[in-house]
Amino acid sequence: MDLNHYRFRGTWRLAAPPGAVYAALEDVPGYPRWWPDIRDVRQTGPDSGEVLVRALLPYRLVIRLTTTRRDHGAGVLEAAMDADLIGWSRWTVTADGAGGSEVLFEEDARPANALLRRLAVPAHLLFRANHAVMMHRGRRGLAAHLGAGPADGA
């Protein structure tokens, strides 16, 4: 098992229509307004930018994102990542059948940061837990931003 390779997959259920959820996720410069762990976003081009991330652990990540797919009809947003993390991430937004949305998040990444690579063995579980906390707060923040709670009551 390569402890420097991270694959994340999670589902958010939100009581907001898919179009509103997709629009909020497409607006990456707006993430700091609702996602407390996204500290800053700097747009570097029409389809690229840098995101500064810091959750519970005492380190920050700079992630350069370049949009590789934007398909409103399919509800898919995908970006290539480089800088402190190398890989890709994808949001897929679909209707949940009850007027809300189901949001699938997928990420495949490796740290490019030398310190994070060295800490892979002793801190692997902490890194995964840090990511889980960040995603939980992102879901809560997006639900509040959209004026709709999580559809599953969490």
Q: DSSP assignment, residue 75?
A: T
Q: Domain holding 28: CATH number?
A: 3.30.530.20
In a domain, 56, yes or no: yes
* Count of domains for the chain: 1
d(CA 138, CA 19): 18
In a domain, 1, yes or no: no
pTM of the model: 0.91
Residue 22, CB-side half-sphere exposure with 13 Å CA sphere:
18
In a domain, 129, yes or no: yes
In a domain, 154, yes or no: no
Give φ, ψ of 103 to 5 degrees: -120, 120
Per the listing, tokens 């970006």 go with 79
In a domain, 90, yes or no: yes
Residue type, 19: G
Map residue 80 onto helix, strand or coil.
Answer: strand
* Residue 39: domain span: 6-145
d(CA 97, CA 57): 37
For 26-85, how does the pLDDT look when each residue is reduced to its tens digit (9 = 90+)? 999 999 999 999 999 999 999 999 999 999 988 899 999 999 999 999 999 999 999 999
Q: Note whether 80 and 66 are within 8 A (CB).
A: yes
